[in-house]
Structure 1
């Protein structure tokens, strides 16, 4: 079985997972901008990884907009984010990024990444600063666990990546 891992990474967490997955599966690996659809059509399994941005998976359209071309392929998508793995997070991400038909065809995995403000681009830094101000303006007793966690890591990079987090994805692909 010919496997490819493609990814788009802003701060390095998605890239780290993509490299671990590719090495474990002896798969080819490419950044998204270095592939094209005809090239991807030569693979049996396509694994796409992207970081989350306001619940959207960055770059996943390379998969979702080409579903007809990938109908005979095994499709796997993983997203990385700073939030802990929770069913409600997975459900929200799937609903925002995939329609019902795509949800049946694409196997989705959430892999906890991390947060590093210093590696964000200007626009993302601006948006994160607005989010920080919004959270700080709330009554501290009404903050969610995610909001408290976001404030705690805002000024200090955190890395929640663990190689064992890829195990369920690896097992699925090897079935």
Structure 2
């Protein structure tokens, strides 16, 4: 079975997971910028990883816009984010990124990544600064656990990646 792992990573956490998955599955791995739909159709299993950006999975449109050409493949999408995994959050990610029809063909996984402000581009730094100010202006009792966590890690890089987090993906692909 021929497997490809593609990814789009802004700060390196998604790339780290993609490389671990590719290594465990002896799969080809590519940054999304190097991949076309014609390349994907040559594979039996397609694994796509992207970081979350306002609960949207960056780069996933390559998969979703071509689902008709990929329906006969095993398709896995994983997203990385700094927040701990929560079922309601995962369901929100799935529903925002995939139609009900697409969900029939795509198996989704969430992997906790990390946060590193210094690796963001200028625009993302600006947006994160606005978000930080917005959160800081809230009353303490109004803050969600995610907002409290974001404020705690904003000024120092954190890396929650663990190789064992890919085990569910590896098991799924191998069954």
TM-score (norm 1): 0.99
Give CA deviations for 1:95-114 in whole Å, capped at 9, x if unaligned: 11000011111000000000
The aligned counterpart of 2:139 is 139
Distance in 1 (alpha carbons) for counterparts of 2:74 and 2:143: 41
Which residue is equivalent to 2:150? 150
Cα deviation, residue 141, structure 1: 1.8
Matched residue of 2:68: which SS?
coil
SS in 2 for 1:85: coil
For 1:71 and 1:57, locate their aligned partners in 2 and report how far apart those are by CA, in whole Å.
20
Q: Distance in 2 between matches of 1:72 and 1:122?
A: 40
RMSD, matched Cα: 0.5
Q: Does structure 1 residue 50 correspond to structure 2 residue 50?
A: yes
| Alpha-carbon distance between aligned partners in 1 of 2:134 and 2:67, rounded to the nearest angstrom | 38
Stretches of structure 1 that go unaligned for 5 or more consecutive residues are none
Distance (Å, rounded) in 2 between the aligned partners of 1:163 and 1:136: 34
> How many residues of Structure 1 are paired with residues of Structure 2 in the alignment?
175
User: Residue 162 of structure 1 aligns with which residue?
Assistant: 162
Q: Deviations over 1:60-118 (max 9, x none)?
A: 00000001111211100000000101101110100110000111110000000000000
Report the equivalent of 2:174: 174
1:66-85 equivalences in 2 (<5 Å) = 66-85=66-85
Shift of 1:57: 0.1
The answer as to 2:70 corresponding to 1:99 is: no
- The 4+ residue runs of structure 1 with deviation greater than 6 A are none
For residues 71 and 79 of structure 1, the distance between their equivalents in structure 2, rounded to whole angstroms, comes to 20
CA distance in 2, matches of 1:163, 1:55: 23
* 1:119 and 2:122 correspond: no
Distance, in Å, in 2 between the alignment partners of 1:141 and 1:85 is: 22
| SS class of match (2:107) | strand
- CA shift at 1:122, angstroms? 0.9
Partner of 2:3: 3
